[in-house]
Amino acid sequence: MHNNLNNLQEIIKEIYSKDNNQNKLVKIIAVCKTFEMDKILPLIDSGHIHFGENKVQEAQNKWQDMLSKNKNVKLHMIGKLQSNKVRHAVKLFDYIHSVDSMKLAKKINLEQKKVNKNIGLFIQVNIDNEDQKNGVAISELESFHEQLVQMNMNVIGLMCIPSLNSELEIAYDKMQKMKNKLGLAELSMGMSFDYLKAIKFGSTFVRIGSKIFGKRS
């Protein structure tokens, strides 16, 4: 796992040395869902900072003790977040990538005030305008963002999960333009199979699972 991560870091550094326009080095979120702590520990010990989980319960079981011992580790919630899990999520995570409704945003706001946190938030964008997909519609993004800012929430970027048959370049280009229009700093896009494309369009957080940890069973 450690070697896989090192390889990725080398590939990313290589891209940056060729392309001077990009001044912000992309950060790798090691997506460790379904993997046990014994597989994750070597990465923590090597100093890796960003880890991603997609289920609150699993993340609690795996990370609660670990986080109190490793204060520099940052945990990212990248999966669909149910309202009834927000209280636990807010305690555990440093970032939430999946803010996809006003109901969820309000709940996060309520719960994080109780524990005096201001979590780094990504608005999940329904980039392909799919009915069944989670995410804020592109047409509603600006007003959604504005409302979160009004509530003093710490919105740092946009996130998307393009559908498998979408034109990735078109989707990522749109994301980059929307992020710039809203004046946000971060873009969470790109997974094991498409992270290079995502980086081309200014991704600042790639979410990599299988390319680091191997296939999930």
Binding residues for ligand PLP (CB under 6 A): 31, 33, 54, 78-79, 161, 191-192, 207-211
CB 140 to ligand PLP: min, Å: 21
Rank residues 135 and 209 by Cβ distance to ligand PLP and give the closer one.
209
Closest C-alpha among 49, 120, 123 to residue 90 = 120
Rank residues 110 and 196 by Cβ distance to ligand PLP and give the closer one.
196
Rank residues 69 and 215 by Cβ distance to ligand PLP and give the closer one.
215
Rank residues 145 and 211 by Cβ distance to ligand PLP and give the closer one.
211
Rank residues 202 and 209 by Cβ distance to ligand PLP and give the closer one.
209
Expressed in angstroms, the distance from the first to the final Cα of the chain is 16
Spatial distance between the Cα atoms of 119 and 164, rounded to a whole number of angstroms: 30
CB 114 to ligand PLP: min, Å: 27
- The residue sitting closest to ligand PLP, measured at its beta carbon, is 209
CB 208 to ligand PLP: min, Å: 5
CB 132 to ligand PLP: min, Å: 16
Nearest 5 degrees, angle CA 80-CA 194-CA 145? 45
